[in-house]
Structure 1
Amino acid sequence: MEFAFTEEQLMIRDSAERFLAQASDSSAVRAGMARVDDYDPALWQRIAQELYWPALMVPEAYGGMGLGFVELAVLQEQCGRFLLGSPLFATACLATPALLLADNPPLQAHWLGAIAAGDTRATLAWGAGMDADSVRITARAEAGGYVLDGLCAQVLDGALADLLIVATREPGSQGEHGISLFALPADTPGIIRNALPTLDQTRRLARVELHGVRAADAQLLGVVGQGWPLLRDVLSIAAIGLAAEQTGGAQQVLDLTLAYVAERKQFNRPIASFQAIKHRCADMMLQVECARSAFWYAACVAGERLAVEGDPALASELLAAAATAKLHASETFFHCAAESIQLHGGVGFTWEYDPHLYFKRARAGEQWLGTPAWHAERLAAQLLEQRP
């Protein structure tokens, strides 16, 4: 397929790059890592209420910009380049797609409007894996609603979000059956949230427990017990968003390496002139370009799935595209980050240089929203099922 950016997409990319180069440079990233309570509130206010990034995919009817997932992927690639620490990914790539695909107009109007206005940070709590069995929170039907019990061990921005979209299952159900999604204000009685230490200090995870939490029918995102197709597609879309971010990180760590080898001298010449260094840098660039091609195709598929006229039959294509994008992007980012440390030599793993920041982000992201091995197995199984 032929893919070219529109003028609007180029403007989003260039403006995001200019902003993040200043607001999320190395010193800002390190200052954010030192914070133990929250992301930088001033930075988030600028992102949410001046740049309107959380409103990017929210329909204009709810106060948003009415753009698509491709535009969000443009933004996510730049966020990955500069290791942005903010609730943007959880809000825009996890919660917003879930609300957009939900069959509950009043719920959509309320929460999407709040996200677009920059008043609400949101996230999705479902479990640790990409399959239906990872959903462990139970939703027991009672008169007038449901009672939710259980825990999610690792929820992105779970301790900071104002809205939790919680995936649950009927007691005794297994696999893809009996799954429902509820939109719960974070201050709902019975919800306990505890921040967790993380390998990647630019991201914040939390343990979220639900003890006798009451939810009403009006808080359901779709039909009770039939929420797996929605959750499956949301996780695939989020994996594509993460792939865009990882590709941006891989590109940036390649750029850092190229700059370093061009100025580092050995035997009175820059080490960039050595053939072995050239080969390793060329290999990094090739992998980055392959990952970029994979995630842009996947972003186009995700955009079609999220469109108002989107065809649910796209689900199969979305699964394959997401698996391909996440597989390539995770492996590429980790490879480039590891190579960057090696090519920086003795200073590559020191605190003063930045490669270790990207290495931590690459390792943590590799395990999140499906490992490369898991996505390879899913992609292989899907291809085998399509054989005549």
Structure 2
Amino acid sequence: MSTSPMKQASTTQPDLLYSEAEDELRAAVRALLGDRTDLQATLAGMESGNPYDPALWQSLAADMGAAGLLVPEKLGGQGASHREAAVVLEELGRAMTPAPYLTSSVIATETLLALSGQTGPGGAAAVELLADTAAGRTVTVLAVPLSAAPGDELPTGPAVTAVADARIADVLLVARPDGLYAVRRADAELTPQLALDLTRPLATIATGDDTPGTRLADTATAGAAVRRGRLAGAGLLASEQLGIAEWCLEETVRYTRERHQFNRPVGSFQALKHRMARLWLEVVNARAAARNAADALANGSDDVALSVSVAQAFCSRVAVHAAEECVQLHAGIGMTWEHPAHLYLKRAKADELALGTPGRHKEVLADLVDLPAPR
């Protein structure tokens, strides 16, 4: 497998096709999720406030090794790249699997990778935590709002709101005025928050200066590391959004073939065929944007920030549109709690706000190409 992450700038042409190894990884992840993911169980878990399946996470993160895809082998990982991690996120999006992959295995892992090159105790602590995270022994979550864009400043107050997957984290990466600390979740005060997407719960994390923790980096180093983590998260979130859109389109096509009205499949009506054809074109374009972002991250392209913002600005809207069409074209049943369409719509809407809104990424694009956005 290729080595990971954003090490040196590359000017090679992007490769948007899936490799044989990536197809094999997809098949393995899809088989695992097909055997172990039950949307009805997910609904039941949401009602109880705990949608996570620890056994499934163990199988995916540790047994399959997916948690360490972005981590070089010498640091205890698989030595793969963002392209392979993108495939995992596509499948997690398709199956609507509640798992801390984006938060722990991408955002926190990339942050720790950026800190692992330091000399001194902070770098050593980062390397040790990175190895545990890559092996699936530890779930590490960056304690920042899920909505924070890559370029946002780190929150250094006593409480941080809207932290995703904090409930099942073992370690939190907490920003303080003097740098970034690794804090055990058990030592922090966690207050659950009401979230639109109940498959990715949010919480407020409160810590004080006297909360035990290990200092990983100073303020400047921490800021650069967190920006790298959130940039990778935003780029690979597009692949999760692609998986959502693909499931919604495929499920809608299947349903409209089976559902009859006036003695004909409703999918044969021209108006519906046109809507699904337009959606198919959007999904194809979203796949190109998501793959380009993953490839740019994997190869350290000079245009990585541009590729990520293009992917987020486009894929966010496509995922929401696909989920809306899925609900509408399923008619009455699409509005019920028992049908999973609402899970995909809620995740799509929540993802649209995560790691920077489409509007925020369009502003970034305008700055990158020196074309000021209208005010």
The Cα of 1:283 is off from its aligned counterpart by: 0.9
Decide whether aligned partners of structure 1 residues 163 and 38 sit closer, same or farther in structure 2, where only a CA change above 3 A counts: farther
Question: In the alignment, does 2:53 pair up with 1:40?
Answer: yes
Question: In the alignment, does 2:129 pair up with 1:108?
Answer: no
Q: Is the 8 A contact 1:132 1:228 kept in 2?
A: no
Question: In the alignment, does 2:358 pair up with 1:383?
Answer: no
**CA offsets, 1:170-207, max 9 Å, x none?**
6xxxxxxxxx433333234xx21122222111112110
Q: Is the 8 A contact 1:240 1:322 kept in 2?
A: yes
Partner of residue 263 from structure 1, selected from 258, 261, 264: 258
The Cα of 1:101 is off from its aligned counterpart by: 1.5
Q: Is the 8 A contact 1:233 1:319 kept in 2?
A: no
Which runs of at least 4 in structure 1 moved beyond 6 Å after TM superposition?
A: none
Q: Tell me the secondary structure at the aligned position of residue 241 of structure 1.
A: helix
The Cα of 1:126 is off from its aligned counterpart by: 2.6
Structure 2 residue aligned with 1:65? 78
Q: Tell me the secondary structure at the aligned position of residue 96 of structure 2.
A: coil
Decide whether aligned partners of structure 1 residues 228 and 112 sit closer, same or farther in structure 2, where only a CA change above 3 A counts: closer
Question: In the alignment, does 2:164 pair up with 1:156?
Answer: yes
What is the CA–CA distance in structure 2 between the aligned matches of 1:284 and 1:274, rounded to whole Å? Answer: 16
The Cα of 1:385 is off from its aligned counterpart by: 6.1
Q: Tell me the secondary structure at the aligned position of residue 64 of structure 1.
A: coil
The Cα of 1:226 is off from its aligned counterpart by: 4.1
What is the CA–CA distance in structure 1 between the aligned matches of 2:349 and 2:272, rounded to whole Å? Answer: 24
Listed as ranges, the gaps of 5+ residues in structure 1 are 138-148, 171-179, 306-313
Partner of residue 245 from structure 1, selected from 225, 229, 240: 240
Q: Aligned runs of 1:179-328 on 2, under 5 Å? A: 180-188=179-187, 191-213=188-210, 219-221=215-217, 223-305=218-300, 314=301, 317-328=303-314
The Cα of 1:97 is off from its aligned counterpart by: 0.6
What CA RMSD, in Å, does the superposition of the two structures yield over aligned residues?
Answer: 2.1
Decide whether aligned partners of structure 1 residues 329 and 110 sit closer, same or farther in structure 2, where only a CA change above 3 A counts: same
Q: What is the aligned residue count?
A: 353
Q: Is the 8 A contact 1:70 1:299 kept in 2?
A: yes
The Cα of 1:38 is off from its aligned counterpart by: 6.1
Decide whether aligned partners of structure 1 residues 133 and 297 sit closer, same or farther in structure 2, where only a CA change above 3 A counts: closer
What is the CA–CA distance in structure 1 between the aligned matches of 2:296 and 2:136, rounded to whole Å? Answer: 27
Structure 1 residue aligned with 2:357? 371
What is the CA–CA distance in structure 2 between the aligned matches of 1:226 and 1:56, rounded to whole Å? Answer: 24
The amino acid across from 2:317 in the alignment is E
The amino acid across from 1:207 in the alignment is T
What is the CA–CA distance in structure 1 between the aligned matches of 2:152 and 2:266, rounded to whole Å? Answer: 50
The amino acid across from 1:81 in the alignment is R
Listed as ranges, the gaps of 5+ residues in structure 2 are 1-13
What is the CA–CA distance in structure 2 between the aligned matches of 1:132 and 1:373, rounded to whole Å? Answer: 14
The amino acid across from 2:29 in the alignment is A
What is the CA–CA distance in structure 2 between the aligned matches of 1:186 and 1:350, rounded to whole Å? Answer: 36
Question: In the alignment, does 2:131 pair up with 1:126?
Answer: no
Decide whether aligned partners of structure 1 residues 32 and 53 sit closer, same or farther in structure 2, where only a CA change above 3 A counts: farther
Higher relative contact order (CA closer than 8 Å, sequence separation 6+): 2
The Cα of 1:67 is off from its aligned counterpart by: 0.9
The Cα of 1:334 is off from its aligned counterpart by: 0.4
**CA offsets, 1:314-360, max 9 Å, x none?**
5x622211111111111001001111111112222112222111111
- Of residues 294-303 and 96-105 in structure 1, the stretch that sits farther from structure 2 once superposed is 96-105
Q: Is the 8 A contact 1:87 1:157 kept in 2?
A: yes
Structure 1 residue aligned with 2:11? none
The amino acid across from 1:219 in the alignment is R
What is the CA–CA distance in structure 2 between the aligned matches of 1:34 and 1:53, rounded to whole Å? Answer: 28
Q: Aligned runs of 1:15-94 on 2, under 5 Å? A: 15-37=28-50, 39-94=52-107
The amino acid across from 1:48 in the alignment is A
Decide whether aligned partners of structure 1 residues 360 and 69 sit closer, same or farther in structure 2, where only a CA change above 3 A counts: same
What is the CA–CA distance in structure 1 between the aligned matches of 2:196 and 2:231, rounded to whole Å? Answer: 24
Q: Tell me the secondary structure at the aligned position of residue 370 of structure 2.
A: helix
What is the CA–CA distance in structure 1 between the aligned matches of 2:26 and 2:89, rounded to whole Å? Answer: 9
- Of residues 274-283 and 47-56 in structure 1, the stretch that sits farther from structure 2 once superposed is 47-56
Q: Is the 8 A contact 1:182 1:215 kept in 2?
A: no
What is the CA–CA distance in structure 2 between the aligned matches of 1:36 and 1:48, rounded to whole Å? Answer: 22
The Cα of 1:133 is off from its aligned counterpart by: 5.2
- Of residues 97-106 and 320-329 in structure 1, the stretch that sits farther from structure 2 once superposed is 97-106
The Cα of 1:256 is off from its aligned counterpart by: 0.7
**Identity percentage of aligned residues:** 34
Structure showing the higher strand proportion among its residues? 1
What is the CA–CA distance in structure 1 between the aligned matches of 2:152 and 2:240, rounded to whole Å? Answer: 27
TM-score (ref. length: structure 1): 0.85
What is the CA–CA distance in structure 1 between the aligned matches of 2:45 and 2:66, rounded to whole Å? Answer: 19
The amino acid across from 1:241 in the alignment is L
What is the CA–CA distance in structure 2 between the aligned matches of 1:225 and 1:45, rounded to whole Å? Answer: 34
TM-score (ref. length: structure 2): 0.88
Q: Aligned runs of 1:313-352 on 2, under 5 Å? A: 314=301, 317-352=303-338
The amino acid across from 2:231 in the alignment is S
The Cα of 1:132 is off from its aligned counterpart by: 5.2
What is the CA–CA distance in structure 2 between the aligned matches of 1:27 and 1:133, rounded to whole Å? Answer: 37
What is the CA–CA distance in structure 2 between the aligned matches of 1:3 and 1:291, rounded to whole Å? Answer: 11
